[in-house]
Amino acid sequence: MTRTQYYTATSIDGFIADADNSLGWLFTLRQTEASKQEYPDFIAEVGALAMGSTTYEWILDHEGLVERPGSWPYPQPTWVFTSRELPVVPGADIRFVSGEVAPVHAEMVAAAAGRNVWVVGGGDLVGQFADAGLLDDLILGVGSVFLGGGAPLLPRRITPPRLRLVSATAHGEDFATLRYELTGPA
């Protein structure tokens, strides 16, 4: 059964990027072998991705994809939600879309062919999936850092009983993984 999941790292105070839209804070934290294995286990179950334009541009810049075309890190089809024209990565299965998430979600589920849909980010896009009742899971790697500002994890109010903690796992001194299930639309 396909699940739509938001898997991301966040600061304790709920930011996925700092005020400069950087993830540098994340790469300074220590990870255990178990926490390093979480991502490969997660991505092996993903059949389609959704991301916002800022996330897409960060990946382009961080991975140097404008200078090194053909090295898109995801073999899965990827839908980029944007209202503007963005650079294309040659050879990558990237589909630029705009508008409501629900019709696009149906396409992503079909393309995922029984595997999961990963809503990579940003927080507002994830919120749109949650508002439409299309987000099943939050998988949050919480890093031991306070950023004090930046890009919010999920700029929406979601409370129990719609939000239910499934598990909390400590990974050494710098990380914990929190897993939540979401039910129904906002």
Q: What is the pLDDT of residues 8-25, one digit of tens each?
A: 999 999 999 999 988 889
Q: What was the pLDDT predicted at 104?
A: 97
- pLDDT interval class at 145 (50, 70, 90): very high
Give the global pTM.
0.92
List pLDDT tens digits, range 72-104: 899 999 999 999 999 988 889 999 999 999 999
For residue 70, pLDDT beyond 80: no
- Asked whether the beta carbons of 16 and 122 are under 8 A apart, the reply is yes
Let me know: does 99 contact 151? Beta carbons within 8 Å: no
Residue 172 scores a pLDDT above 70: yes
CATH of 4-182, one of 3.20.20.60, 3.40.430.10, 3.40.50.300, 3.50.50.60: 3.40.430.10
Q: Kindly write down the DSSP assignment for every residue of 88-139, as one continuous string.
A: --TT--EEEE-S-HHHHHHHHHHHHTTSEEEEEE-HHHHHHHHHTT---EEE
Residue 56 CB-density burial (10 A; 0-12 exposed, 13-18 middle, 19+ buried):
buried
